[in-house]
Amino acid sequence: MPDYNLIKSVCEKNARISEKVLDNFLIYYAEHKNKTGTEFDSKIKPFKKLTAEFPAGSQARFKSQYIAHKIFEKDGLIHKYLKHALVKNLSRDEKEFLLQQSETPWKFSFSIIKDSPHKDFYLMEDIFRGEDFLLYSPAISDIIRETKVNIWFNLIGFNSQCWQSYGHIAHYQSFEPDDIYFFSTELEPDIETFEELVLNVEENPVPYTMLISGADLPVIIQGGKKVMFIKSYIDVSSLDVNKMKKDFKIKQKGNVLKLSLNEPDHHDFTYAYYDKDLQEMQLCAMSEEEYELLSDKIKKYHIPVPEFPDLRVSAAMYSIAGEILNQKFTFDEYEHLFIAEPSPEEKENLYNLNKLANLMIPEINAGKKPDYKKLAEKTGLDMDTIRTLHQHINSIVNKK
């Protein structure tokens, strides 16, 4: 049984030395000597819209964390600094601290809590390295008393007994490992493995730090199902449409077929597309349950549905990743083909509603009550419709 009180004393001593040697000395030295601060400023500049919304002091904390990582990362600046005269003048404990940190590189870790064997100690699992580690963090204890957390993002260093966090502790309510992987591949399309994801985070943690903007986004539930964007691409040389009509409603636009589930309670956004030109099928669903239902139906026709979908991302990450990376993602690339053209009657009705609004708004703004009878004569709309629109516009004006 580990002596957690002894380990805690090591952690507290380590924190005291870190504050003196790192926070009050090496951070500033590295910023000016090696331009690490300028490097950070350049990397965070593309995200200035986001950072403007962060609490005061956030960017300074991110910068300190970035510089600390540059000092203690694998082959980091600490190996140069150990030979520096100012370091040689530190106390024995302080020099031992720096030497120890140089031997075990600091790293950024996306992790989950597996257990808490003692107060403020957590057995963590690094979800992309596949490693477990013991972390001492009173800050995590404070966070989980107030907030439900699914994934953590920490900069961690080893103190000979366990790991400790340094700087800002990011935590996310709704993100899952697939979400982080999705973000990494949108950031760097060449990423194909967890190992490449980890290397990318170590090389430039700044974009991943920006995920804090989605920290409090909740899990989105609709109809009792967690909303996800799930998609698979399947090579299919041909499709026997007639056989599939038992399970699917089928529409066609050009060489693209849309197959909707022939189920009474299925989600409106669950369907498959088949592109005859590309000889490719796409399965699209917005929940795990709907994707499984769709894939089971598709498998009945001997179509090789992959074991894992090509895209699986939460609604929260889909939204925040686009905001961070300034991209507009297109989940359904064939949707525009199947949007129904309004009927002539619908077009005329919409025209009349716009005409009504244009006639009514100036009178409302002038403080006058519109003449419903005259408006009905000019637009051809019934009195109930005119009254409803008047009430709606009034409510908007009063809110302003």
DSSP 16-55: HHHIIIIIIIIHHHHHHHS-HHHHHHHHHGGGHHHHTTSP
Contact 26, 69 (CB under 8 A): no
Task: Tell me the pLDDT of the chain averaged across its residues.
Answer: 90
Helix residue ranges, H only, the chain: 4-18, 27-33, 36-44, 48-51, 58-72, 78-81, 85-88, 92-103, 138-146, 177-187, 194-203, 206-209, 241-244, 288-299, 315-325, 344-365, 372-379, 383-399
What pTM, to 2 d.p., does this model score? Answer: 0.80
Q: What is the DSSP string of 143-156?
A: HHHH---SEEEEEE
Q: End-to-end CA distance of the chain, in Å?
A: 65
3-class state of residue 198 by DSSP: helix
The residue ranking higher by pLDDT, 289 or 369, is: 289
Phi, psi dihedrals of residue 317, rounded to the nearest 5°: -70, -40
Could you name the CATH architecture of 221-314+325-338?
2-Layer Sandwich (3.30)
Are 304 and 234 a contacting pair, CB within 8 Å? yes
Q: How confident is the model at residue 372 (pLDDT cuts 50, 70, 90)?
A: confident
Name the residue among 140, 316, 287 with its Cα closest to residue 218.
316
**pLDDT at position 400:** 45
Confirm if 124 and 114 have CB atoms less than 8 A apart: yes
Tell me what the mean pLDDT of segment 95-118 comes to.
96
| pLDDT, tens digit (0-9, with 9 covering 90-100), for 241-278 | 889 998 999 999 999 999 999 876 655 689 999 999 99
Region of residue 93 (phi > 0: left; psi between -120 and 50: alpha; otherwise: beta): alpha
Question: 57: which DSSP letter?
Answer: T
Q: How far is CA 367 from the centre of its chain?
A: 47
Q: Please check the confidence at residue 32 and state whether its pLDDT lies above 70.
A: yes
pLDDT tens figures, 338-349: 876 666 776 677
Q: What is the pLDDT of residue 399?
A: 47
pLDDT at position 266 = 58
Structure tokens at 352: 């009349």
* Model pLDDT, residue 384: 79
Q: What is the pLDDT of residue 265?
A: 63
Q: Is the pLDDT of residue 302 over 50?
A: yes
Residue 351 half-sphere exposure, CB side, CA atoms within 13 Å? Answer: 9
Q: Where are the domains of the chain?
A: 4-214, 221-314+325-338, 344-399
Q: Which residue has the higher pLDDT, 212 or 224?
A: 212
Burial 106-133 (b: 16+ CB within 10 A, else e): bbbbbbebeeeebebbbebbbbbbeeeb
